[in-house]
Each structure stands twice: as structure tokens, then as C-alpha cells.
Amino acid sequence: MSEGLKASVVEMFRGKSCGDKKMFYVRDITRWFPGEDRHAIQNILKELIDEEVLRYWSSGSTTFIMLAEFFPKEEGPCSP
Amino acid sequence: MAESKTPLLDQLEGGKWPSFVKDIKQAAEKKPMAEDLLQQLELSYKDRIGHWKHGGIVGVKGYGSGVIGRYSDRPDLFPNVQAFHTMRVNHPTGWFYKTDALRHLCDVWDKHGSGLMNMHGSTGDAILLGTTTDHIQPCFDDLTEAGFDLGGSGSALRTPSACVGPGRCEWACIDSLDICYNVTMSFQDKIHRPMFPYKFKIKVSACPNDCVASIARADFSVIGTWKGDIRIDQGEVEAYAASGLDIQKEVCDLCPTKCMELDGKKIKIYNKDCTRCMHCINLMPKALRQGEEKGATILVGGKAPILQGALLSWVIVPFMKLEPPYEELKDLVLRIQDWWDEYGKSRERLGELIKRLGMRVFLRAVGLPAVPQMVKAPRTNPYVFFWPEDIKKEVK
Ligand code: HEM
Ligand code: HEM
Ligand code: SF4
Ligand code: SF4
């Protein structure tokens, strides 16, 4: 697998996460790379999730992917 | 007697039927979590609004599904349900448990969660309701040790399910249990690591009675069926008549295609017109048996309403022989998922995508021929199946 492509996936995530929107559908992510094979991007996503660079976020019915650093902190009575 | 703290919920205990309120109250005697659940639910009834926030958390290490995060939006009032996550456990195929396995499952949940479970959710899984974030991993470890695994959630292949089929039922035309288990084991990655546009469900019923309602609830439905004539034991037909069954009224008149005839005491079936609905066989199991050649009908596109309305599955393969290792079946699943994964919009189910792009496009993409059984209803336009070059070939 191409390390270059993997790096550009992370780079793309950083660029796209500048605004308020931090969570993306897999479908959106594969569309960021129109020239690349969808499956290759999906495999890279799985690797990056294993490496804890990215994280899944799920409502239960739908799944998103986001940079791990933006994953919401555990909420509770003590959190602001 | 002290005044009840849950007057609204108490009303739900009033009917003749079993009440989940009673169950939660029972659990609340042991678990503060269940007590807070009760109180928060009472508040929801009062405020007429749900007090749950959608999570984010997805599972244990290596998994992207199986845990559904839920948090209370009033942790100030109900600290014990501040986090109340659901764990979906892949049920044994056909829901066959030995009692010691069930006990073990309950023990694990008493240790790590609220003690409340839902046997089973509509996807099929055993649903363990309510645990905290720090208990998820240890609970998973204990479940694994007991031989259980998490099921699917989110944009993943959901836990496949099947009717009890040959395990108990004489009407099974296929081994629904083995097919479901085989599919589950083959597609582990798709269950645990969501990469689809949305959920995808596979359900297997071993005959057209469709006890898992795969036609209404699965994107990919496998329904057992037969070829050849329904086998008739005329002696047993007479016995049914003698025992008081009105065969003309109850059986023949209710045959959806009117392909049965009572000729004196004998029954005649015009098998070419039979749609294999099972009605007659259900009513006279001793007299009528399915045809000898067994297989399955494959349908796609069923779903409940969320973004768009409900859809029933649509026949795409009228008859497929199903024998282990089911390569033809799994290959078809993969081709369909790949097409959907490529063209589906986020949160678009397979059935909706087929409606949007057309059955013709779908069939060409997955390499299936158009056949008459695909016409859902006469007089909806049959021309949709033909490509211009097909028409040129026909009209010489
Ligand atoms: C004297 C002239 C015509 C007569 C007697 C006639 C008669 C009919 C009849 C009996 C039907 C079947 C209705 C049904 O099954 O409910 C029909 C359907 C139809 N007709 Fe005509 N028609 C005539 C002219 C036309 C013209 C000029 C057009 C188009 C420019 C047309 C387009 C259609 C279409 C599209 C259908 C529906 C076909 C379908 O259900 O798939 N007809 N016509
Ligand atoms: C305000 C104008 C129109 C209205 C309200 C209207 C309404 C309808 C309705 C309710 C149907 C039946 C749909 C169904 O069976 O589910 C229909 C069918 C049809 N209409 Fe119209 N229509 C209009 C104008 C037109 C025009 C201008 C044409 C052709 C030039 C046309 C051609 C047809 C044809 C060919 C069908 C049959 C389609 C099929 O069976 O596949 N309609 N229309
Ligand atoms: S779907 Fe058919 S085979 Fe399966 S349990 Fe129901 S009646 Fe029996
Ligand atoms: S299975 Fe259904 S369609 Fe076929 S003969 Fe019996 S009642 Fe009629």
C-alpha cells in the first residue's frame, strides 16, 4: 500500500476539519480522491483507525470517521 | 403507602399484557442504574421528550460497531445513567441457546451493566441495555470468554439472522441455519468495521412462510422454495375433510392464484400457476408437501421507513440451489454490495438506490438477466428492463 496516499488521506482530513465539521461519511472521504480506487482508500482508513490516527463515530444507525484528536471527550456531570 | 414516584409509568402496568415497566422496577431493586432509568423515563413522559443524547462511542478495540453510545441529557438528576450504552451481541443462529449459555450471558451483564436485556432486537442480536464507558472493554472480554461476539451496528453489515429452519421445522427447503452462520463467519470484517454508505441486512428464511420477515426487513433476502409439483396424499385430504376442514372455502378459495380445485373428494393443483405461497400446505401439512427440488429465491431491497418509505424486497433470482460453501450466494452479495458502495449516497439503502437508478442499471451492474418473475405488478411499465440494443435485437 502506498504510504504517500496514506499521508495524503491524513492531510486531507486535517484540511477538511478546519471548520466546524469534523465528522465525515466514508462515502465523502472516498470522493475526496476521485482518481483512486475506493477499496484502497477504505483499507487505508481501516489502517489509520487501527493506528488510532482516525476514529469511528457512530449514532448507532450511521457511522462517521474523524480525526482521533477531535473525538468528543466523555461528557458527564463534571465536564464543562 | 408512600406515593409513587412514577405515576405515569405505573399506568403502563395496568393492562393484561406483560409490562416493561414491571421489568425495570424489578431490576431497580438491585441496580441504581435501573432506578435512574425509570425516573428519567417518567420525566420523558412528563416532558414529552426523549432525554437521551446520541453517543459517538462505537466499540472495543479493533471494532467499529457493536456498541451504541447513549448519554443522559440530565446527568444532574440521574447520575447513574449519565452513560447508558447498549451492547449488541451476535445471537446464536436461529436463537438456539443452551440454558447455561443464557445464564452465562446474564451473569456477564449483571456484572457489567444494568442487568436489563432485550431478547432480541429487530436485527436479531441479544441487546444488553445500559453500561458505562469503562465497562465496555471488560464486558467484551467476558463475553468473548463465554463464546459470544458483538454484532453489527452503524454503517456495517448487520448481524445476519435466520429462521429456525431445519432445526425444528419440516417446511425448511434450505439449511437456513448453516447459510446464516456461514455468511456471518465469511463477512466478519464487514460486520465489525463499517465501511458502507449505510446499514445492510441479510436474512434467511427456509420457506416462503418467511418467519424472519426477510422480505420486509432485509436488503438481501434469502427465502427457501421448491420446484416441481406439490406432492398430494389424497387419503389425508379426505381425512382433513372428514375432520371438519372446509377445503373448498378454507383452502381452494384462499389460494392467491386460484390454482386449486376440489374434484369430489380429491384435490387438483395446477402447479404452473402456483406461486408457492405455502397457504394450502400450512392448512393441510399431512396431505400436502412441497415439490422435491429445493432451493431459494433471492430478493433485494427491503427496508423499514427512515429517510424514505418502507419497501418490500424484489425478486432478482427466482431459484438458486444452495449448498455449502454457498459461493454463488456470497459472490452475489459481494457484487451487490460493491455496486451499492460505489453509487449509493450516504444513508441510502440498497432498495432506494435501485429505485433511483433503476432495476435495469442494477441488473446490468451485478450481471443478472431480466426475467418475468422480476415484474412486481402488471401494468407498471415493463419496458424498464430493456436496453436500446436489446430492443434492436428483438425488432428485426
Ligand atoms: C383512437 C385513438 C385511440 C384509442 C381508441 C386508444 C385506446 C387505448 C386503450 C383502450 C388503452 C388501454 C387503456 C387501459 O388499459 O386502461 C390505451 C392505452 C394507451 N394509449 Fe391509447 N388510444 C388511442 C390513441 C392514443 C394516442 C394518439 C396515444 C399517444 C399519442 C395513445 C397512448 C396510449 C398510452 C401511452 C397508453 C397506455 C399504455 C400502457 O398502459 O402501458 N393512445 N389506449
Ligand atoms: C396535468 C397533466 C397531467 C396529469 C395530472 C397526469 C396524470 C397522470 C396519472 C395520474 C397517470 C397514472 C400514473 C399511474 O398509473 O401510476 C398518468 C399516466 C400517464 N400519463 Fe399523464 N398526466 C398529465 C399529463 C400528461 C401528458 C401531457 C402526457 C403525454 C404527452 C401524459 C402521458 C402519460 C402516460 C403515457 C401515462 C402512462 C404511463 C405508464 O403507464 O407508464 N400525461 N398521468
Ligand atoms: S420460514 Fe418456513 S422453514 Fe423457517 S421456521 Fe418458518 S415455516 Fe419453518
Ligand atoms: S402454495 Fe399457495 S399458490 Fe400454491 S397451490 Fe398452495 S395456496 Fe395456491
CB atoms within 10 A of CB B330: 15
Tell me which residue in B153, B195, B347 faces A58 most closely, judged by beta carbons.
Answer: B153
Which amino acid is located at A41 in the chain? I
* Residue B301, Cβ density class (10 Å: 0-12 exposed, 13-18 middle, ≥19 buried): buried
* Residue B229, Cβ density class (10 Å: 0-12 exposed, 13-18 middle, ≥19 buried): middle
Least distant ligand from the CA of B381: 2
* DSSP 8-state code for residue A72: P
CA–CA distance, B134 with B57 (Å, rounded to integer): 12
Measured CB to CB, residues of chain A less than 8 Å from chain B are: 25-28, 38, 42, 45-46, 49-50, 56-63, 71-72, 74-77
Q: Choose one of B175, B204, B210, B222 to mutate for the ligand 3 pocket test, by most ligand atoms within 8 angstroms of C-beta.
A: B210
Which chain A residues have a beta carbon less than 8 Å from that of B122? none
* Residue B258, Cβ density class (10 Å: 0-12 exposed, 13-18 middle, ≥19 buried): exposed
* DSSP 8-state code for residue A24: B
Q: Is the C-beta atom of B255 inside 6 A of ligand 4?
A: yes
CA–CA distance, B10 with B46 (Å, rounded to integer): 13
Contact (CB, 8 A) for B31 and B117: no
Which amino acid is located at B215 in the chain? I
Per the omega criterion (within 30 degrees of 0), is the bond before B92 cis?
A: no
Contact (CB, 8 A) for B80 and B35: yes
CA–CA distance, B72 with B52 (Å, rounded to integer): 5
Cα three-residue angle A22-A9-A75, rounded to 5 degrees: 25
**Residue B64 CA, distance from chain mean position:** 21
Distance to chain A for B36, nearest Cα, Å: 15
Nearest chain B Cα to A45, which residue? B195
Contact (CB, 8 A) for B251 and B280: yes
CATH class held by domain A3-70: mainly alpha
Contact (CB, 8 A) for B386 and B364: no
Q: Is the C-beta atom of B260 inside 6 A of ligand 4?
A: yes
Which residues are within 8 A (CB) of A21 and not within 5 positions of it... i.e. 6 or more apart? Answer: none
Band (A72; pLDDT cuts 50, 70, 90): confident
Residue nearest to atom 5 of ligand 4 (CA): B274
Q: How many residues does chain A have?
A: 80
Nearest chain B Cα to A43, which residue? B195
Could you read off the pLDDT tens digit of each residue along chain B, which spans 396 residues?
A: 568 899 999 999 998 999 999 999 999 999 999 999 999 999 999 999 999 998 777 778 889 999 999 999 999 999 999 999 999 999 999 999 999 999 999 999 999 999 999 999 888 999 999 999 999 999 999 999 999 999 999 999 999 999 999 999 999 999 999 999 999 999 999 999 999 999 999 999 999 999 999 999 999 999 999 999 999 999 999 999 999 999 999 999 999 999 999 998 999 999 999 999 999 999 999 999 999 999 999 999 999 888 788 999 999 999 999 999 999 999 999 999 999 999 999 999 999 999 999 888 999 999 999 888 887 666 655 555 677 887 787 776
